[in-house]
């Protein structure tokens, strides 16, 4: 079976599926940074999603104008149109003619505008010592399983991590934001959007097993 990982340049999810023997391809307008260009399609993710070639899609639609993290800028000039464009892109991915779909985003207005999210997860549920609330929209796929040493999965939930630091506004920060002297915010946003390894491995292991058993 073929798997499309839409809007992914890091290739974290793609590589996790490939390591388990599945034919997965990342797709993004940007060049990939995961080191496997032969598994990357640099182009329009919607075109690939509607190509009829894939049995599963895991999509990471851009969240800049959807996430509640940016609610302080919600009413800035031009934001409403950009938010509607982002919602339309999200909706088109959700309605793609693919049997099994997972869309991933932080807390934002895509739920319930497009559809109610199916599951809320944290990186530390799957062994990564970080906090970042992530919503999953699932179609044709079960919720990800996590537990403390459960015999049915290798994903192990660890204790909730302590904040790495407290910023100048008194807000707790749970993982270091990558910053660049030259690009600053662009690098920070790009780095924050990467899928944590534990979540990528859980997707590949659990959903890949479903594919293999069909």
Give the domain range for residue 32: 2-213
Whether the per-residue pLDDT at 177 is higher than 50: the answer is no
208 — pLDDT class (breaks 50, 70, 90) = very high
Average pLDDT of the residues in 30-54? 97
Mean pLDDT of 84-95: 98
pLDDT digits (tens, 9 = 90+) for 96-128: 999 999 999 999 999 999 999 999 999 989 988
Do 59 and 7 contact (CB within 8 A), yes or no?
yes
Count: domains in the chain: 1
Q: Which two tokens stand for residue 157?
A: 């939930």
Mean pLDDT of 68-82: 93
pLDDT tens-digit map of 137-152: 999 999 999 875 443 3
pTM of the predicted model as reported, rounded to 2 decimal places? 0.84
CATH at 132: 3.40.50
Q: Which residue has the higher pLDDT, 179 or 177?
A: 177
């Amino acid at each position: 079976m073929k798997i499309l990982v839409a809007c992914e340049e890091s290739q974290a999810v793609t590589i996790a599926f490939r390591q388990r023997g599945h034919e997965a391809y990342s797709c993004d307008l940007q060049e990939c940074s995961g080191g496997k260009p032969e598994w990357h399609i640099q182009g329009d993710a919607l075109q690939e999603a509607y190509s009829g070639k894939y049995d599963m899609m895991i999509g990471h639609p851009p969240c800049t104008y959807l996430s509640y993290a940016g609610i302080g800028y919600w009413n800035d000039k031009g934001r409403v149109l950009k938010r509607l464009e982002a919602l339309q892109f999200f909706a088109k991915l959700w309605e793609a003619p693919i049997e099994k779909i997972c869309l991933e985003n932080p807390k934002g207005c895509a739920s319930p505008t497009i559809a109610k999210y199916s599951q809320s997860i944290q990186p530390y549920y799957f062994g990564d010592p970080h906090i970042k609330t992530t919503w999953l929209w699932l179609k044709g796929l079960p919720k990800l399983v996590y537990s403390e040493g459960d015999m049915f999965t290798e994903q192990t939930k660890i204790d909730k991590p302590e904040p790495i630091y407290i910023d100048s506004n008194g807000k707790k920060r749970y993982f270091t934001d990558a910053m660049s002297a030259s690009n600053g915010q662009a690098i920070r946003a790009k780095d924050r959007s990467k899928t944590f390894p534990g979540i990528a491995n859980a997707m590949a292991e659990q959903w890949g097993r479903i594919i293999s058993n069909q």
